[in-house]
Amino acid sequence: MTVSPLFSTRLLPLAALALAAGALAACGFRPLMLWPLTLAGTAVLVGLVARAPGPWRAVLAGWLWGVGHFCLGDNWIATAFTYQANMPAWLGWIAVFLLSLYLALFPALAAGAAWFARARGAALVAAFAAAWIVSEWLRGWLFTGFPWNPLGVAALGGFDRAGLAQLLPWLGTYALSGLVALLGGAWWLAWEGRAARMRAGLLLALPAGLMLVPQVGGPAPAGHLRLTLVQPGVRQELIDDPANFETQFATTARLTMAPPASAPAPGPRLVLWPESGVPDYLRDGYPAWFYERSTFAGSPVLARRRIGAVIGRGSMLLTGAVDLDMAGEQGAGNRVVGARNVVTALDESGAIRAGYAKAHLVPYGEYLPMRALLTPLGLSRLVPGSIDFLPGPGPRTLDLGPWGRAGIQVCYEIVFSGEVADRAHRPDYIFNPSNDGWFGAWGPPQHLAQARLRAIEEGLPVLRSTTNGISAVIDADGRVRAALPRPVAGRIDGLVPPAHAPTLFAKAGNALPLGWAALLAIAALLALRERRR
């Protein structure tokens, strides 16, 4: 019996190296923020591609690297299963592993494409970076996309500085990831050329210096619109318990109505509540039994009026809620056919002024793909209830008059680079309500980091209200001006930071990073032609 060279015993140490290097690269993400390990892990992958005797060996190296990378970086997904009563908690780790097997196809694609360039040295690094940009872009939209933790997020600095991510307005997130891949490739070049000490030292020092770049420019003006951002501190296991709804509302109301630490500025106030911020159905027109779990006598009108009284005069509330899609004979509307994860704007009278429905839904979380096929297999237990959430139309700007033009991105919608703002009607800020209580210790800081990337590349402040952290006010330079940690209840009072003029990325979208990928590919081709002369 012969053994395929692809899976020979000689390959096992290289496979272990690829897995370990991928996991090492994930250590640059939150909460660890060990960015030198991201560069080192990426350097190892470039080296494995350079030494691969054939394309399938390079693809395998990239895939194994990806498995290690995503198993560690996305480990927070396993925590979600501890709150899913219909599924055993241990299944969460299997879910992380299976998802990683799929996500690893994208680093494998980048590794294989770089090998096919038949380049060496700096040309190989440029080809790898170009392929990485394209592969991350594909990961962001293929099969609805899962662009969580792009490689470039390792270049983001602490709360008070953006680090190398300051280049996002001119690069976009996927090209920033390509730049990090270039820097990791520089470390591989340093290792390969270590005999030339001066050149190797420069290749080691330059990436490190770039990752530590200080913040350019001083703090932006404070802004003019008052805000009150509420984090009710609701424990995840209680958030859907009807017996706890009134307590949740009382906590949120108390935090909203509490006087600020300093005298408020005159003018309108924007109040922000998180996803799952209101347990009531706020819209009229549903059959009476749908309002029975309401916190106010089963009446949506009274529920809205009570909320209006809580926010007070001169205030506009943006809150997460759930709407229903109804159907029935002759328009009776007595049968639920779907739900919408929405943000509802309520004024001081309790009137609904505007609304937004989440567009990027979580497969196997908010809806079950191919439900008719998967339900007989018992996989309907992955999603709560027997109906699916339905997607909204995409980014929309809500014109709230004195309370500004609000862009809305619910929960993990904020991680989709280039898809968070209506480019035809640019908002003044992006509101990102979320419920991060599902996602353990690693998920919330990673989510916050990716919201900061959106702020920088779009030139827009991002306001995050979450059920139990991390809530934050992020300015248009990606700096966190105020934050509430997990898992406390609290409130942030302040002013909405001003937006910048539209950035190059805000105008061009993901055509910009793909353009950078094309330039890197051309550079690799020119370097290869020069080498062959």
Q: Are residues 445 and 309 in the same domain?
A: yes
Residue 289 lies in a domain: yes
CB atoms within 10 A of CB 134: 21
pLDDT tens readout for residues 501-523 = 999 999 999 999 999 999 999 99
Q: Are residues 309 and 333 in the same domain?
A: yes
For residues 462 and 451, give the distance between their C-alpha atoms in angstroms, rounded to a whole number.
7
Q: Are residues 194 and 315 in the same domain?
A: no
Q: Are residues 210 and 279 in the same domain?
A: no
Q: Are residues 279 and 130 in the same domain?
A: no
Q: Are residues 195 and 281 in the same domain?
A: no
Residue 316 lies in a domain: yes
pLDDT tens readout for residues 69-117 = 999 999 998 887 776 656 676 777 888 999 999 999 999 999 999 999 8
pLDDT tens readout for residues 237-272 = 777 777 788 888 889 999 998 777 665 667 899 999
CA 10 vs CA 5, 16, 17: distances in Å: 8, 11, 12
Residue 380 lies in a domain: no
Considering only residues 375 and 59, tell me which one the structure prediction assigns the higher pLDDT. Answer: 59
Q: How much is the pLDDT for 483? A: 97
Q: Are residues 209 and 254 in the same domain?
A: no
Task: Output the pTM of the full model.
Answer: 0.92
Q: Are residues 152 and 64 in the same domain?
A: yes
- Above 90 in pLDDT, residue 300? no
Residue 20 lies in a domain: yes
pLDDT mean over 396-424? 96
Residue 371 lies in a domain: no
Percentage of residues of the chain with pLDDT beyond 70: 88
Residue 133 lies in a domain: yes
Q: Are residues 412 and 467 in the same domain?
A: yes
- Give residue 488's domain range: 226-359+394-499
CA 525 vs CA 143, 244, 271: distances in Å: 31, 63, 54
CATH number of the domain at 418, please.
3.60.110.10
Contacts of 349 (CB under 8 A, 6+ apart): 305, 308
pLDDT tens readout for residues 434-443 = 998 888 899 9
- Strand, helix or coil for residue 8: coil
Q: Are residues 485 and 404 in the same domain?
A: yes
Q: List the catalytic residues.
A: 275, 358, 411
Residue 373 lies in a domain: no
Q: Are residues 117 and 72 in the same domain?
A: yes
Residue 372 lies in a domain: no
For residues 284 and 301, give the distance between their C-alpha atoms in angstroms, rounded to a whole number.
8
Q: How much is the pLDDT for 1? A: 33
- Above 70 in pLDDT, residue 281? yes
Into how many domains does the chain fold? Answer: 2
Contacts of 346 (CB under 8 A, 6+ apart): 282, 304, 307, 308, 311, 316, 317, 319, 352, 353
CB atoms within 10 A of CB 226: 21
